[in-house]
Amino acid sequence: MVLETDKDRVLTFKGIIMSSSVYSVNKGVNQPIVFKGLKAQYIWWLGGGLVSILILFAVLHVIGVNTYLSLAFALGAATAVIVYVFRLSNTYGEHGMMKKIARQSVPKIVKSYSRKAFLNQAKRTLK
């Protein structure tokens, strides 16, 4: 029952050869983390979404919902989460989503009923 490892990452267990999966995370100097095409914070969003679907599946199973119905729901929700997160990652990139949220908080119109703010600004720039 001893696991032996070779240089080629092949595991042998009782004479059966098993290959282990090694995933590489591409990250260079001053570069965002990229894993399977997902960039930066979207990796965490995908992980959180899939874990929440797993918990929801467990709750549905404990409640007593039909297994095939809860499995179909979980697979459909997982597919939707994966597609949605990959679409966000491709659309907005590393910092684009934060920029979009910040842009929504900037007012479109600034109303001023007094000229004092602009006059004080002009005096400061002339000094």
**Residue 127 domain flag:** no
pLDDT digits (tens, 9 = 90+) for 89-113: 888 877 777 888 888 888 888 887 8
Domain encompassing residue 94:
26-107
**Residue 14 domain flag:** no
Tokens of 18: 């098993």
**Residue 32 domain flag:** yes
Listed residue (34, 40, 5) closest to 19, CA to CA:
5
**Residue 94 domain flag:** yes
Q: Model's pTM, two decimal places?
A: 0.58
> Residue 15 — very low, low, confident or very high, per pLDDT cuts 50/70/90?
low
pLDDT digits (tens, 9 = 90+) for 58-96: 999 999 999 999 999 999 999 999 999 988 888 887 777
**Residue 3 domain flag:** no
> Residue 2 — very low, low, confident or very high, per pLDDT cuts 50/70/90?
very low
**Residue 9 domain flag:** no
**Residue 42 domain flag:** yes
pLDDT at residue 11 tops 60:
no
Q: Is the C-alpha dihedral spanning 90, 101, 33, 28 positive or negative?
A: positive
Provide the strand spans (E) within 1-127. Answer: 4-5, 10-13, 16-19, 34-35, 38-39
**Residue 62 domain flag:** yes
Quote the percentage of the chain above a pLDDT of 90.
31
Quote the percentage of the chain above a pLDDT of 70.
73
**Residue 17: φ, ψ to 5°:** -90, 125
pLDDT at residue 3 tops 50:
no
- List residues bridging with 35 in a β-sheet: 38
Split into its structural domains, the chain has a count of 1
